[in-house]
């Protein structure tokens, strides 16, 4: 991998119930290069931790009828008093598109809306082609607002999707 001249500090923040989002966060960190990104479980940080980074990568799975993962649910309200102006944010989400196609990646869409509301500049949209779902709060202007992953039905595509997405966001994050 080519050496990167870092201009921004990057923080990767994720919440995980079953380990799938944590695993995806690890793949993303490895692909970017662990020397260039700090990775955190969102349950272990405060909004002040996010403030220490110029660029953020935010990851969550969707639960139940389109709900936030528990750790993000507990953190979500803390974002109301947090200014994200000037921060570049990229999202990734995990969900089961076949069993929960009516809510596929809704948590990513919910977080996207909150981060936009708080002033963040978002990068890293992802095409909807190759997915089977009926509805998603994470689709804006015909694309997912971030990297869409399905560890239950398309795990074999995770590495290649992460690689392509990281190549897409690198110029903006670095």
Q: Is residue 5 part of a domain?
A: no
- Residues 6+ positions from 78 with CB-CB distance below 8 Å: 46, 47
Average pLDDT over all residues of the chain: 92
d(CA 87, CA 96): 29
- Residues 6+ positions from 21 with CB-CB distance below 8 Å: 14, 15, 59, 60, 61, 69, 94
Q: Is residue 115 part of a domain?
A: yes
Q: Is residue 1 part of a domain?
A: no
What pTM did the predictor assign?
0.93
- Residues 6+ positions from 155 with CB-CB distance below 8 Å: none
Q: Is residue 49 part of a domain?
A: yes
Which DSSP helix (H) or strand (E) runs through 92?
strand 88-94
Q: Residue 43, SS3?
A: helix
Residue 131 structural domain: 10-173
Number of domains into which the chain is organized:
1
Residue 2 has pLDDT above 60, yes or no: no
pLDDT, tens digit, 9 for 90 and up, residues 39-53 = 999 999 988 898 889
**Please, are residues 118 and 79 in contact by the beta-carbon 8 Å criterion?**
yes
pLDDT, tens digit, 9 for 90 and up, residues 84-97 = 888 999 999 999 99
Q: Is residue 3 part of a domain?
A: no
d(CA 127, CA 140): 10
Q: Is residue 67 part of a domain?
A: yes
């Amino acid at each position: 991998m080519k050496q990167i001249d870092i201009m921004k500090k990057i923080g990767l923040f994720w919440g995980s119930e079953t380990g799938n989002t944590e695993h995806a966060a690890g793949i993303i960190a490895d692909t970017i290069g662990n020397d260039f990104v700090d990775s955190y479980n969102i349950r272990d940080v405060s909004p002040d931790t996010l403030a220490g980074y110029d660029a953020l990568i935010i990851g969550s799975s969707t639960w139940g009828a389109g709900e936030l993962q528990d750790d993000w649910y507990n953190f979500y309200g803390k974002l109301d008093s947090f200014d994200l102006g000037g921060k570049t944010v990229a999202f990734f989400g995990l969900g089961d598109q076949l069993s929960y196609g009516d809510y596929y990646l809704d948590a990513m869409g919910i977080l996207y809306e909150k981060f936009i509301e708080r002033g963040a500049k978002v990068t890293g949209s992802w095409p909807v082609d190759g997915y089977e779902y009926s509805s998603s709060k994470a689709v804006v202007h015909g694309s997912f607002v971030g990297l869409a992953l399905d560890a239950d039905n398309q795990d074999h595509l995770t590495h290649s999707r992460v690689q392509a997405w990281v190549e897409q966001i690198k110029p903006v994050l670095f």
